[in-house]
A and B are shown apart, each in its own frame.
Chain A
Amino acid sequence: NAGVTQTPKFRILKIGQSMTLQCTQDMNHNYMYWYRQDPGMGLKLIYYSVGAGITDKGEVPNGYNVSRSTTEDFPLRLELAAPSQTSVYFCASTPTAIYGYTFGSGTRLTVV
């Protein structure tokens, strides 16, 4: 099983550009999450989804959007990239809310 797959692994964006970070899981997990990790910090929740068609904001949703049209996919959209969005982005999934997460390998994004 591939687990949680994130693409791309690295990306450099110019200020004002947009992009979509892809996340796919093949474990049929209902719950999916997007976190960002800033240097020297823990992970902060951006958005999450408890199932297809349902998404909710986390702690730091401004500047991002998500969709969950299928169980497998949970893309994160950055509109009008800003330097403050320079970070490492992790997608994660879990079968039920009481278990720990399976993480993707992360996307390192730099906005210049």
Chain B
Amino acid sequence: AQKITQTQPGMFVQEKEAVTLDCTYDTSDQSYGLFWYKQPSSGEMIFLIYQGSYDEQNATEGRYSLNFQKARKSANLVISASQLGDSAMYFCAMRERYYGNNRLAFGKGNQVVVIP
């Protein structure tokens, strides 16, 4: 079963506007972590932001913030004041228990194109 769901089609965003990327997750664990990664066209995976399941405040990192709604099992990424360099694929991931260890399970990604 899909653990991380990212269903938005490709998004076009005007430069300097904010964009919200949706992510819902499925877990029965009480302790878990949620991550967002950016993958530009060059292909590398860049860590953006992390939210722990027990964190009471939404995580923020510069222009990135994570809108964490635990009851709804959603962890949406908000990028404020979009820049051309934000054009990329964005992946939501969840740290989950995996046969006694931990792993990151990834969604299929959201494509964002920032237009001037």
Could you list which residues of chain A lie within 8 angstroms of chain B, going by C-beta atoms? 33, 35, 40-45, 48, 50, 56, 58, 88, 90, 92, 97-103, 105-106, 108
Chain A residues whose C-beta falls within 8 Å of the C-beta of B99 in the assembled complex = 56
- Complex CA distance for A58 and B99, rounded to whole angstroms: 9
Known: A42-B106, A42-B107. A100 touches B101 (CB 8 A): no
Q: Which 10 A-B pairs have the closest CB atoms?
A: A42-B106, A97-B102, A103-B45, A43-B106, A42-B108, A100-B35, A100-B47, A105-B44, A106-B43, A42-B107
Output the nearest chain B residue to A88 by Cβ-Cβ distance.
B43
Chain B residues whose C-beta falls within 8 Å of the C-beta of A42 in the assembled complex = 4, 91, 93, 106-109
Chain A residues whose C-beta falls within 8 Å of the C-beta of B46 in the assembled complex = 103
Q: Is the interface of A mostly helix, strand, loop or mixed?
A: strand
A59 to chain B, nearest CB (A): 9
User: Is A58 a contact of B44 with CB atoms below 8 Å?
Assistant: no
User: Is B104 a contact of A101 with CB atoms below 8 Å?
Assistant: yes
B10 to chain A, nearest CB (A): 11
A89 to chain B, nearest CB (A): 11
Within 8 A of A (CB), among B45-89: 45-47, 50
Other A-B contacts than A42-B107, A98-B95, A98-B102, 6 sampled, CB-CB below 8 A, are A33-B103, A35-B106, A41-B109, A50-B101, A100-B37, A105-B43
Residue in A92, A98, A102, A106 whose beta carbon sits within 8 Å of that of B33 in the complex: A98
Can you sample 17 A-B contacts with CB below 8 Å? Answer: A33-B103, A33-B104, A40-B108, A42-B4, A45-B103, A48-B101, A50-B101, A56-B99, A56-B101, A58-B98, A88-B43, A98-B33, A100-B35, A100-B37, A100-B93, A102-B47, A106-B43
Interface size on B, residues (CB 8 A): 24
User: Is A101 a contact of B47 with CB atoms below 8 Å?
Assistant: yes
Chain B residues whose C-beta falls within 8 Å of the C-beta of A50 in the assembled complex = 101
Chain B residues whose C-beta falls within 8 Å of the C-beta of A103 in the assembled complex = 37, 44-46
- Which of A41, A48, A58, A101 has most B Cβ within 10 Å? A101
B21 to chain A, nearest CB (A): 14
Known: A90-B45, A106-B43. A41 touches B102 (CB 8 A): no
